[in-house]
Amino acid sequence: MNDLQKISTPAETALITALETLPQADGWVREARAAAAERFRVTGLPHRRIEDWKYTDLRTLMREVAPLSESGGAVATPEHFADLATDRIVVSDGQIVAGDMPEGVSVVATDDLLGQSDAWLRDVLTAEMDGIASPVLDLNTALMRGGVVIRIAARTELTRPLQIAFVAGGEAEASFVRNVISVGEGAIAPILIGHEGPDGVAYQANTVTHVEVADRARVDLVRLQVEGDQATHLATVASRIAGNAVLNLFTITLGASLSRTQVAFRMEGQHSELRFSGAQLLRGTQHADTTMYVDHREPDCTSRELYKTVLDDKSRGVFQGKIMVHRDAQKTDGRMMSQALMLSTTAEIDNKPELEIYADDVQCGHGATAGQLDDDLMFYLKARGLPPAEAEKLLIAAFIGEAIEGIDIEPLRDAVSGAAMAWLDAR
C-alpha cells in the first residue's frame, strides 16, 4: 500500500531490534505478542501527524530507548505514601511482594497466567476496546512482563484501601508491565495506585492496567504518578464498566519528564456512573499528556470529567478528552471540563475536548479554559497581609482542590492533597 521506505529513528530501530526476540510464549499469548510486534514494525512510534498524538510527538520526544529490564533485581521499597493504612502490594523489577490480603482478594503474577495461556486473561487483554489502540499499547503487548493480576471476589467489601505500588529500580531500563484489576459483582473496592522511581535515572515505564468493573460494583481508584524527574511514563488504563456500577477514577501527574496517560472507559451496561477527575502539576520542562476516551454504548449512564492542569516554567500540558455516544446510548448524561492555570508565560497547554454523538436524546457538554491567577483575588489576599508566594499557593490549591474534592474516600483524598501540597511547597 505504501511504497515509501519509512525511515526509522534510532529509538525505533532499537525497539524493532528488541522485538526480534519476544519473551517465550505459547498459544494466544504468542500470537498476541507477534501480532503486536508486527503492528509496531509498521507504525513505529506515534508522531504529530497522527491526530491522537499531535501534541505529544513520541517520535521526536523519545530519542533513545533504554535496554529492556531484566527481572530478578532487588525489590525497591516505595517511598511515597508508605505510611498509609492500606493492604499493600509492591511491584518492582518483575517481582511482586504482597502481605496477607483481606478475604476475597487474590494476587497473582501476570507472568504466571501468561505462562499458562490463561483463557480468562485472554478475554480481558484482547477485549474490544476503543480509544486505547496505539503503538505504545502494542509495545506493551509484545514485551509485557512483570505485572500483577488482582481479583476482588463478588460482594467483597474492602474496609481499607488496597495499595499497589509500582516502584522502578535504580537502573535506566525500559519496562513493559501489564496489570489487571478485576472487581467482582457488587464488590466495594477503594484502591490507590502509585507509580514511582528514583530521580536522576532515565528509566522508561510503559504500563497497561485493565480495570474490570462488574455489575453493581463500586470502585474508587486513585492513581498517583510520582515518577523520578528523568523518567518517561507511558500509561494506558483500560476500563470496562458493567451495569449499575460506579467507577470514580482520579489521576494526578506530578513526576516524569515525559508522560502520557491514556485512559479509556467502555460503558457496557445500563445505569452506571463514571467519574473521572484529576490534575497535572508541571514545572521545568516537563511534558505531560492526559488523553481520555469515554465510550457510551448503553442507555442511562452518566459520566463526569473534571481535569485541572497547572503549568509553571517551560512545561507543556496536554488534555484531550472525547465522549462518544453510540446510537443506542439514549439518556446519556455526559459532562467534561478541562481547565488550565498558567503560572508562567513560557508554559503551554493544549486542550482538546470532543463530543461525538449518534443518539438523539442525550445531555452532553464540554468546556475548556486556560487562564492566569486572577489579579483581583491576588490583590485581596495581599491586602490581608499574605505575601505574594503564599497568596499564589492558596489560589493554586483552590484551583486543584475542586478536582480533589471529587475523591470520596478520605485517606485517598488526603494522600492526593498531601502530594499536591508538597508540589506547591517546593515551588
Partner 1 sequence: MLDIKNLHVEIDGKKILNGLDLSVKAGEVHAIMGPNGSGKSTLSYVLAGKDEYEVTEGSIAYNGEDLLEMEPDERATAGVFLAFQYPVEIPGVASMTFLKAAINAHRKARGQDEISTPDFMRLIKETSAKLNVSQDMLRRPLNVGFSGGEKKRNEIMQMALLEPSLCVLDETDSGLDIDALRIVSDGVNALRGPDRAMVVITHYQRLLTHIVPDVVHVMSKGRIVKTGGKDLALELEKSGYADYDAEEAA
Residues that bind partner 1 (CB under 8 A): 376-377, 379-388, 390-391, 394-395, 397-399, 401-402
- Compare residues 181 and 391 and give the one whose CB is closer to partner 1: 391
Strands 333-342 and 302-311: parallel
- Compare residues 166 and 399 and give the one whose CB is closer to partner 1: 399
Q: Listing from the earlier edge strand, what are the strands of the sheet with 174-183?
A: 105-109, 148-152, 174-183, 204-213, 232-241, 258-267, 287-296, 316-325, 348-357
167: which strand partners?
92, 196
- Compare residues 55 and 250 and give the one whose CB is closer to partner 1: 250
CB 400 to partner 1: min, Å: 9
Residue that is written with C-alpha cell 483481606 in the block: 102
Q: What is the dihedral of CA 100, 101, 106, 111, to 10 degrees?
A: -50
CB 415 to partner 1: min, Å: 19
CA gap 266, 253 in Å, rounded? 23
- Compare residues 335 and 393 and give the one whose CB is closer to partner 1: 393
Question: What does the block give as the cell for 40?
Answer: 509496531
Q: Which burial class, exposed, middle or buried, applies to 6 when counting CB atoms under 10 A from its CB (0-12, 13-18, 19+)?
A: exposed
- Compare residues 1 and 383 and give the one whose CB is closer to partner 1: 383
CA gap 262, 207 in Å, rounded? 10
- Compare residues 359 and 378 and give the one whose CB is closer to partner 1: 378
CB 382 to partner 1: min, Å: 4
Which element (helix H / strand E) includes 40?
Answer: helix 27-43
CA gap 192, 263 in Å, rounded? 16
CB 421 to partner 1: min, Å: 12
Which of helix, strand or coil describes residue 145? Answer: coil
CB 151 to partner 1: min, Å: 39
CB 354 to partner 1: min, Å: 27
CB 392 to partner 1: min, Å: 12
CA gap 194, 404 in Å, rounded? 16
- Compare residues 267 and 400 and give the one whose CB is closer to partner 1: 400
Which of helix, strand or coil describes residue 6? Answer: coil
CB 377 to partner 1: min, Å: 6
Question: What does the block give as the cell for 215?
Answer: 455489575
The residue type of 314 is: K
Question: What does the block give as the cell for 96?
Answer: 511482586
- Compare residues 273 and 402 and give the one whose CB is closer to partner 1: 402
* CB-based contacts of 144, cutoff 8 Å, min separation 6: 23, 33, 110, 114, 176, 177, 178, 208
Contact in structure between 263 and 295 (CB atoms under 8 Å): no
CA gap 244, 217 in Å, rounded? 8
CB 391 to partner 1: min, Å: 8
CB 375 to partner 1: min, Å: 8
- Compare residues 74 and 398 and give the one whose CB is closer to partner 1: 398
- Compare residues 35 and 394 and give the one whose CB is closer to partner 1: 394
Which of helix, strand or coil describes residue 293? Answer: strand
- How many other β-carbons are positioned within 10 Å of the β-carbon of residue 21? 9
